[in-house]
Each structure stands twice: as structure tokens, then as C-alpha cells.
Amino acid sequence: MSGPQEKRLLIVKTGSIVERLPSVAAAFGDLDAIFARALGLPPERLYVVAVHAGEVLSDPPDAFGGVLVTGSPAMVSAREPWMEATADWLRGAVLSGVPVLGVCFGHQLLAHALGGTVGPNPKGPEAGTVEVAFAYEGRADPLFADLPARAKFNAHHYESVLALPPGATVLAESALEAYQAVRYSEKAWGVQFHPEFGAAFMHALVDALGESLATTGIDVNALRAAIGEAPAGLPLLRRFLALTGVGADDPVVFHPGVGQDVRIGSWDEQCRSTYDMATDAVRQGRRYEAARLARYSVTEAQEAFELFTQWRERTRLYLLESGVEERMVTAEETALVARVTEGRTGPFEPEREWRDIGVLAEEAAGLCMAGEAEAAVPAIEAVRLAWLDLHDRLCDWTQGMVGLVAHHLGEERIGALWQMLMADMSAGYERYNIDHTPWKRSAEALLYIAAEALRGHLSGPGRRGAVELVREKDRIGFRFAPCGSGGRNVTGETYGRYPVTTEPHDWAWNLKGVCLYCAHCCVLSEVNPIQRLGYPAREVEPPYENGKDRRLYCTWWVYNDPSLVPDEVYGRTGHRKPSHMMKE
């Protein structure tokens, strides 16, 4: 076990889907892995005991910072020996005061352990995305207080808690389930829904269990159509984690406003390279921090990798749908790939290379945890160099595809292309609407997201992901050169040259000499938010070069209040500042 200052979270694994649902397990991992990913905890902070497989809970409850009991294909009403032994241990855990959370089967097992009754739900099984209504007691509970009064979660269960144990308090219910959330003691909770299940998992689960679900009378097609993301699940799990204190010294935490993990620290600290911070940490003996940061460097890079992949594929489809011959597109893309991979040995396999970067990060994290600083430092640098090589080649492949649109369809079509490519991301900017979200919260989220993106693109001197913080009276921003992606055209660091605007366009700040790839920042940060919200989410000063003027750096600004955005920021994208946004 870990020392008293490094208590881990115990995951009591009560079942497995590997044999019963092999396709689902192959895609998402087994039940403990799904929770580990949702919680954002590395292996060093977890301790898994597979009680369903005969493993024994031999450590006392207070050896752990908290206890999480998973769901299971098994039924509590079966009263198998391992269930009874686990129930006995959980009873002691609740009495010890260690934070405990039971999920689905875990919720039912907790109820059974404490004197409640569990059996088949007389209303029938519950499956899919369900609306959960929190009672007053739930909204006042420390675990659920940050959630809305009604929230959607994903669920799948046949049995339910039929009678609560003495002293339990109902916190939430749904149409089919009277005890969706229960507080069993001051620090012990159970939820019948699955906060760890997202929409993709539920679709895979329904696909795998469709016939079985149909036999219970469930309309599988309707169930599938109603599946949603259930965004309240992740914050709930992270809130439980905060109550346990496990990972309290973590340099990476879940940020509810951003909806994902972020690296903690001041805005000045956000400008530092994650690779450099990991290196400093391992040299100074902060092993866990170094390992966490080494892994997080991959998280920072993931969005860029995924977007490059999506944009290339969708741009190719855009060309074909616009009437460009497939034979021509294929030939030109083949030539483009040859150019961006020049000088490499072996085949260019982006997916495999991305997985290899993850392996390198795990190796670096292992060396950090072992305290082997001399080996860990070059291992961390190997992660950066591998991503740098893959990033730049993928970025230029993407830039080249955008250039093909300008070549075949005309430069004026680039704005429509980016509107199509950025549609999903632009829709997500509704969360920055001041009609329902305080701007202070939105501004903070926009800055965190910007900092992570810039580090992920390896912006700044030496391509290490370090940028400069710029503060002015009305705004705060990040400045960087090169930007790591399109701005490399201006500094000559690309695999070849890629098209820039030859005429002014609203979707590119009405500047000549802006990289066509860089225009996506204009569409995402300024054009679409102005049209949707009435103000830009960020102001972007892009790099450009047009023979008369040039700017080698890029700056992303976030204003202290949207009303402070000057008229000229609106004007350069063909808009006028709305009267209600005028500062009095």
C-alpha cells in the first residue's frame, strides 16, 4: 500500500464485461478501466480489487482515501459468497467514515450490506439515457450540490433497491427508479445510474445487448435514438474524487467550466511548457507530479491529432462533393503526402505513431515514478520530439488539403470550408453565452482552453509549447511565435509552401497574406461567435505577410468583458458591434 500521504482510491471491481461483451470491452476497456479514465487518475493513484474473480479485500478501509464500487453483470439477489464477503467489508468501510460511492450494482450492494432490500424492479428494467430529478436533500448534498435540479444520466439495470436501510436518505429519483441516488451515511452514497457511461459506450452496449433488451419489452430503436452524452456524470465522479482527497496534489484537475482536465496554475504558469515542468519536477524529486505531467502532454496533443485527422478526411469529401474528380484528388493528395514525409524511413502510419507516442509517455511516466531522473529527462524529451515530428507532418498535410480547395474551387470557398469543418466546435460556443453563463466563468474557460491548445501545438520558441503572457487594461492574452501550425508558413518552417489569402475576406480578418489554414481561428473565435452570440469569444491577431506588411507572431486575446471589444474587431470580419454591446 501507499504511505499515509499517498492514499489511493480503491476500486472494488464487482464484475467484468470482457467475456460477455468482448466488442464493448475491446473498444472501451473493462469496468475498472472505464472508471479510471472518467476519474482522470493514473495507475499510481488507483488500487483495484476484483472481488467477483475471487480477490480478497484484505486491507482495512482506512488504508484508502476513498472507495468506489463498480457495476456488474451479476445480480445482488443471487447472494453469492463473494457478494456477502464484500458486503461485510463495505459495512465496515461505511462505519469507518471513508468516502464510499456505489454505482448501479455497487449501489445495490451497499443497500444490502446496510440492511436494505434488493430485487427485480417491479416496473421493469431501466436502460438508456434517463432524466434524474434531485430532491431538495440532493441539491443540498455535498456530492450533488453542483448539479442541476434535473440532469440526464445513462443507465442499465434489471434489479433495484426496493427498500432502503435504516437512516438512508433519498436524494434523487427517475420515472422507473425511486432510489436513483441515496445517501447511506455522511460519507457514503449510492447511485443507480452510471455516471461513467458516455453516449458512445451506451450505443455500443445497446448494439451488443439489443436482442436481450428487446425480450424485456424495451423498444430498442427508440432507446438507441434517445441516447445522449449525459454531461453531468463526469463532474459527479470528479466531485466524489475531491471529497476523498485522492490526487489533491495533482497538477492536473477537472475543471467544470471547461468540461475536461486542465493543468492547474496561474496564467503565468499556464504559459510554461508541460515538458519543461515535468523535467523540473522529476529533477526535484516530485515523482508523481512529473509522471502526471508526462502523461498529460499527450492529452494536450490529442485534440490537434484528432482534428488534423477529421479535417483532412472531411476536406477530401468536400472536394469530391464539389465535383472535383476522385482520381485527381487522390493523385494530388498522394503527392502531398510524399512531400510532407520526405526524409523519413519506413511507411507513414499516423495512427500507429500516435499510439507509440502514448507508449513513450507511459515509459517516461514510469521512469519518473521510479525516481530515475537521468533516464526520465531524455524520455520526456523523446515524447516531445516524436509528437513534434508527427504534428508538423499532419499539420502540413491538412494545410495542403485546404490548399487544394482553393486551387480547384477558388480561394473564396475557404470560408465555407471552415464553416463546415468547424460546425461542431462552433455550436459548442453556446456555453459562452452571457445570457446564461457569467462572462468571468467563460473567460476563464477560454483562457484554459487556449493555453492547452497552444501547448499542444508546440507553439513558441524551440517548439516546446511555451508562450508569452500579455496583460492590458481591458484584456489578457497569449502571444507566441511560431504558432506551431499555420504560422509556420510565415517563418518558413513548413514542409513546402501553402496558400495564403490573395484578397481580403471577412473569414480571414480581411487581411492579405494570411495562411488559409489560420483562417479557421477567425471563423471559430470571431466570425461565428459574433453571429451566434453578438460578440467574439476571442480576438486573434494572426501572423501574415503580404509584401507590404508582416507579423511573425500570433496573439489570442480574451477581454475582461465582451462590451470592451472595440468596434474595429467587429469591422475586420464584416460585422458591426451591436448596440446592446456598447460600453456605457
pLDDT score of 1 more than 60: no
575 is catalytic: no
Identify the structural domains of the chain with CATH numbers, from first to last.
4-244 (3.40.50.880), 268-581 (no CATH)
Give the side-chain half-sphere CA count within 13 A for 70.
28
Which pLDDT value is given to residue 79? 96
457 is catalytic: no
How far apart are alpha carbons 558 and 560 in whole angstroms?
7
Helices (H), 472-527: 488-491, 519-522
Tens digits of per-residue pLDDT, 533-574?
Answer: 999 999 999 999 988 899 999 999 999 999 999 999 999 999
Tens digits of per-residue pLDDT, 132-191?
Answer: 999 999 999 999 988 889 999 999 999 999 999 999 999 999 999 999 999 999 999 999
Place 581 in a pLDDT band, splitting at 50, 70 and 90.
confident
Tens digits of per-residue pLDDT, 86-117?
Answer: 999 999 999 999 999 999 999 999 999 999 99
Which pLDDT value is given to residue 65? 95
Among the listed residues 52, 104, 333, 368, the single catalytic one is 104
Tens digits of per-residue pLDDT, 436-453?
Answer: 899 999 999 999 999 999
H/E element, 126:
strand 126-134
Among the listed residues 126, 196, 362, 526, the single catalytic one is 196
104 is catalytic: yes
- Name the pTM for this structure: 0.80
Which pLDDT value is given to residue 3? 35
Tens digits of per-residue pLDDT, 498-507?
Answer: 999 999 999 9
Burial class (CB in 10 A: 0-12, 13-18, 19+), 2: middle
Cis peptide before 482 (omega within 30 of 0): yes
pLDDT score of 197 more than 70: yes
* Cell digits of residue 166: 435504516
pLDDT score of 256 more than 80: no
pLDDT score of 249 more than 90: no
Which pLDDT value is given to residue 4? 35
Instruction: Indicate the pairing of strand 554-559 with strand 550-551.
Output: unpaired
Determine the length of the chain: 584
* Cell digits of residue 26: 475491446
* Cell digits of residue 274: 508541460
> How far does the chain reach from its first CA to its final CA, in angstroms?
61
Among the listed residues 194, 391, 505, 575, the single catalytic one is 194
Round the average pLDDT of the chain to a whole number and report it.
Answer: 94
Which pLDDT value is given to residue 578? 94
In angstroms, the Cα distances linking 176 to 125, 157, 160, 284 are: 8, 11, 10, 54
Which pLDDT value is given to residue 584? 57
Q: Among 257, 305, 259, 298, which Cα is nearest to 275's?
A: 298
